[in-house]
């Protein structure tokens, strides 16, 4: 069996499993009348003014994330400062986003504000970035809490766990002969 849940649920299902501290993250989604930036780029709050740490125009990355003609802007606030009521956080974020994008945010509409107190596992030093994924005979666990916080760590631990399962159950397919390279006219 492979447990691929977050750390808290994994420890409920498998008592004794280590549960790290977590950091909170808040995500704001705004609809804008026009794109404040056309590039599919990440803007970082290098001056650390806050509350937003980074932001991007989601529809510049993936236009299907909004109805045609609509612009979706996504912004991230790290830490507990987002415990403020959503209206004041939205006000503070809007002022900062106007500076970051160099565009007015007055007509932006707040579509959603998601606050998750357990968004990413904390990684205080010394951090073990490769916790075992094989915990008992036939029992495997993966997720960012077994590697490093974020999607990259989650995927890397899933790769380690699936690799261990293939090895343990003798399921690893024989390496395929390399395809010969052919010139294409
Ligand atoms: C608001 C927010 C913003 C974030 N921003 C970023 C970011 O910008 N960059 C980044 O890299 N990471 C970010 N993260 C972190 C990233 O989402 C996680 O690191 C990643 O999703 C962890 O993957 P995972 O597979 O370990 O767990 P999860 O993605 O949590 O997947 C666990 C799955 O298990 C399911 N599950 C739980 N219990 C059961 C059960 N009993 N039976 C069956 N299924 C179950 C859940 O429904 C869930 O689908 C953010 C997280 C949040 C919450």
Based on the fold, state whether residues 69 and 137 are members of the same structural domain: no
| CATH number for position 93 | 3.90.660.50
Based on the fold, state whether residues 113 and 155 are members of the same structural domain: no
Based on the fold, state whether residues 102 and 156 are members of the same structural domain: no
Q: The dihedral of CA 37, 40, 46, 51: what is its sign?
A: positive
Print pLDDT tens along the chain (185 aa). Answer: 999 999 999 999 999 999 999 999 999 999 999 999 999 999 999 999 999 999 999 999 999 999 898 999 999 999 876 556 678 999 999 999 999 999 999 999 999 999 999 999 999 999 999 999 999 889 999 999 999 999 999 999 999 999 999 999 999 877 655 555 554 44
Based on the fold, state whether residues 97 and 33 are members of the same structural domain: yes
Encoding tokens for residue 84?
A: 């403020």
* Cα–ligand 1 centroid distance for 155 (angstroms): 11
* Cα–ligand 1 centroid distance for 114 (angstroms): 14
Based on the fold, state whether residues 59 and 143 are members of the same structural domain: no
Tell the residue nearest (CA) to atom 19 of ligand 1: 150
Verify whether ligand 1 is closer than 6 Å to residue 24 (CB atom): no
**58-67 long-range contacts, CB within 8 A, separation 24+:** 58/29, 59/35, 60/35, 66/31
pTM for the model: 0.83
Decide if 12 is inside a domain. yes
Based on the fold, state whether residues 37 and 10 are members of the same structural domain: no
Decide if 179 is inside a domain. no
Domain that holds residue 137: 2-19+124-168
């Amino acid at each position: 069996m492979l447990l691929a849940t977050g750390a808290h649920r994994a420890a409920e299902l498998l008592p004794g499993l280590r549960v790290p501290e977590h950091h909170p993250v808040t995500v704001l989604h705004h609809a804008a009348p026009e794109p404040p930036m056309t590039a599919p780029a990440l803007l970082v709050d290098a001056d650390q003014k806050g509350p937003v740490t980074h932001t991007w125009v989601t529809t510049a990355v993936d236009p299907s994330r909004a109805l045609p003609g609509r612009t979706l802007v996504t912004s991230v606030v790290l830490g507990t400062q987002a415990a403020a009521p959503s209206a004041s956080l939205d006000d503070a974020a809007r002022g900062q986003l106007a500076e970051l994008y160099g565009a007015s945010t007055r007509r932006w509409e707040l579509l959603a504000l998601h606050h998750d107190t357990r968004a990413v596992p904390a990684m205080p030093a010394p951090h073990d970035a490769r916790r075992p994924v094989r915990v008992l005979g036939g029992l495997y666990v993966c997720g960012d809490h077994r590697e490093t916080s974020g999607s990259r760590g989650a995927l890397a631990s899933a790769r380690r766990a699936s690799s261990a399962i293939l090895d343990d159950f003798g399921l690893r397919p024989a390496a395929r002969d390399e395809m010969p390279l052919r010139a294409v006219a």
